[in-house]
Amino acid sequence: MFRSKFLSFVVLAGCVLPCLHARQSLAQDSTSPDSISADASSADAAPVDPLHRKLSDKERLSQQKALRQELKGPYKKWLDQDVRWIITDQERRAFMSLSNDEERDNFIEQFWRRRNPDPESPDNSYREEHYRRIAYANEHYYAGEPGWMTDRGHIYIAYGAPDSIDSHPTGGLYNRKYEEGGGTTTTFPFEDWHYKHIDGIGDNVDIEFVDTCQCGEYHMTYNKGEKDALLHVPGAGLTNAEELGQAKKSDRVNSMFGLYDRGTGPGASDQAKEFDVMDQYYKLLAPPPIKFTDLEEFMTSHKVLTGPFFPFDVRTDFVRVTDDTVLVPITLQIHNRNITFNTKDGVSKGIVHILGRVSTITGRIVQTFEDTVEVDQPAELLQQTMKSDSVYWKALPLRPGRYRLDIVIKDVNNQEHVGTYARALDVPQYDDDHLAASSLILADKMEPVPTRQIGAGNFVIGNTYVRPRVSSSAAKPASFHRNQNLNFWMQVYNLGIDTKSKHNDAMLDFQVVSMDTQKMLLNTTEPTSKINANSDQVTVEKTLPLASLLPGKYKVTIQVHDDVTKQQLQQSAPFEVEP
């Protein structure tokens, strides 16, 4: 028995050489004109390197314009969306000055490292939390534009969740606080967020958002009177001082803070306090300060393992989702005999931390995942548990292309027991014009899932639970016992549809061959129209009892013959039957 829960720990790193180069170039550019002129006039002076000569203002502006035009695609999105609220002006200028994608990839790597709470670790909880906040903002603060673009989304992304929220989603009757002047009025919808502390801002920070259009668009304001729906209605919504004739409503209307510019009564504020309000407002709009210094070392290799290697097996599969997105299920198999178990109160527990990372060939991170696998059993069943395996599954959406997959696992009860995995990951492109198929998955368990679980959960692909068997190496295929069933799962894409019948017209051939004797043990055929006649995509799900097979090595093959498009394909997978 095992279960997953959240953890934090890591894998890779980047490069600071472009940043160093940028600083060196900056130092050269800051050379005074006088010194350059003096050097140039010297008969013994070395010729000026054209790559490092000082650019004229016209040349520099032209270069910057060209670079701005060049910046597009994922880099423009990263700058304008992903880090819009946290990147400093200096960092933005530095990024805009970079001349190629390799430098930009390295800059992005360093950008996140500067904010890493643990610079010695390749894991970066800051980055993970940042993207979690973006997702939360998009889900909760949409207002005619993505949530990350709204003021509430901005503050949430930059500073996290407030410690408390005083929400008035419909506005209505409101009794002003003493410092707002007291009295009763009617308000637009508004929210007051309170933070106990924000680094660089101070303690007890209050932020007000008002929806004056009553359309869900809450904007941040420093004007406490902006939420007052009766502010411009003569004689209505008066403060205590206004009702007593001690103040004029026109003074409050004309105040940029919604209070009084002068005075000693309730709601009065002096200029020093007003400047504090303005100062806090603009500090909140500025990027949050970077807490951690830059790393000056380029980590070119993983840390050398000092303890015994922690072995584990990995399987990757590919399932088309859309024209440009492929679901990549990653399955890890850990032999329980390699896990260190601690026994307490009659329960033996083993804990394994898992961290995975997918990056481009240039080192840019595109996906990360991390989890904890716990294996616990009554102590008297430990020996039996040690004979079985634990399987972990993570499905990642990726675009077609070539990536690097890195995985690290750690035995929590034996800190030096660490295992690593690094391989190329080639995600296929599924073209619309060609007959294609997903991976052929051999599973030890396959069954339909309840409607509410379709498309979600571990080992769930579409409406089916599919738990793959993982081979320990190419030389040793996935193994099954004779008392198990062999389940195989595969999807076929881009079947032709007959123009007259409006049905697909392809045949599926299923074969099982003994690799030891080359004898055909199974050879059956089924039309795709029997699975889903009106679709250009079908899902093949078959179960084969293994009791009749002798121990040995076998291969299952699925062939697809499409009579409409006159195309065919074949997928094969080896497996082994154990006694």
Measure the CA–CA gap between 90 and 364, rounded to whole angstroms: 22
More confident residue, 218 or 451: 218
Most confident by average pLDDT, 107-121, 136-150, 193-207, 507-521: 507-521
For the chain, the domains span: 1-13+306-430, 17-32+54-113, 131-285, 433-579
pLDDT, tens only, 161-209: 999 999 999 999 999 888 788 889 999 999 999 999 888 788 899 999 9
Handedness of CA 80, 86, 90, 94 (dihedral sign): negative
More confident residue, 487 or 7: 487
pLDDT at 31 over 60: no
What is the CATH number that goes with domain 433-579?
2.60.40.3880
Cα dihedral 117, 119, 123, 127 in deg (nearest 10): 50
Measure the CA–CA gap between 535 and 229, rounded to whole angstroms: 57
Q: How confident is residue 6, by pLDDT bands cut at 50, 70 and 90?
A: very low
| pLDDT of 317 | 95
Q: How confident is residue 57, by pLDDT bands cut at 50, 70 and 90?
A: low
167-202 burial by CB neighbour count: b if 16+ within 10 A, else e? ebeebeebebeeebbbbebbbbbbbbbebeebeebe
Q: Stretch 508-520: mean pLDDT, rounded?
A: 93
| pLDDT of 455 | 60
The angle subtended at Cα 562 by Cα 561 and Cα 567, nearest 5°, is: 85
| pLDDT of 37 | 34
Q: How confident is residue 120, by pLDDT bands cut at 50, 70 and 90?
A: low
| pLDDT of 36 | 32
Average pLDDT, the chain: 79
| pLDDT of 104 | 87
Q: Residue 516 corresponds to which tokens in the numbers above?
A: 């030891």
More confident residue, 44 or 554: 554
Neighbours of 43 (CB within 10 A): 4
Is residue 390 packed enough to be buried (19+ CB in 10 Å), middle (13-18) or exposed (0-12)?
A: buried
Q: Stretch 508-525: mean pLDDT, rounded?
A: 93
Cβ-proximal residues to 307 (8 Å cutoff; 6+ apart), any chain = 414, 415, 416, 417, 418
More confident residue, 371 or 511: 511
Architecture of domain 1-13+306-430 in this structure: Sandwich (2.60)
More confident residue, 453 or 413: 413
Which amino acid, one-letter code, is at 573?
A
Given this chain, do its domains 1-13+306-430 and 433-579 carry the same CATH topology?
yes
The owner of tokens 């692909």 is 461
Which range is least confidently modeled, 4-8, 100-104, 239-243, 426-430?
Answer: 4-8
Q: Are 111 and 94 in contact (CB under 8 A)?
A: no
| pLDDT of 538 | 93
| pLDDT of 150 | 92
| pLDDT of 301 | 41
Classify strands 460-461 and 342-344 as parallel, antiparallel or unpaired: unpaired
pLDDT, tens only, 479-491: 999 999 999 999 9
pLDDT at 115 over 70: yes
Q: How confident is residue 255, by pLDDT bands cut at 50, 70 and 90?
A: low
Measure the CA–CA gap between 369 and 526, rounded to whole angstroms: 39
Q: Stretch 415-438: mean pLDDT, rounded?
A: 89
pLDDT, tens only, 223-250: 888 899 988 888 898 988 888 888 887 7
pLDDT, tens only, 545-566: 999 899 999 999 999 999 999 9
Classify strands 347-360 and 365-378 as parallel, antiparallel or unpaired: antiparallel
pLDDT at 513 over 90: yes
Helix/strand number for the chain, H first, E second: 13, 27
The owner of tokens 């093959």 is 557
Query: Which DSSP category does 121 fall into?
Result: S
Q: Stretch 279-301: mean pLDDT, rounded?
A: 54
Report the share of the chain in percent with pLDDT over 70. 78
Q: Stretch 109-124: mean pLDDT, rounded?
A: 77
Which range is least confidently modeled, 315-329, 416-430, 450-464, 563-577?
Answer: 450-464
**Consecutive H or E run containing 321:** strand 319-322
More confident residue, 100 or 43: 100
Classify strands 164-168 and 347-360 as parallel, antiparallel or unpaired: unpaired
| pLDDT of 19 | 36
More confident residue, 123 or 526: 526
pLDDT, tens only, 331-365: 999 999 999 999 998 999 999 988 888 888 777 77
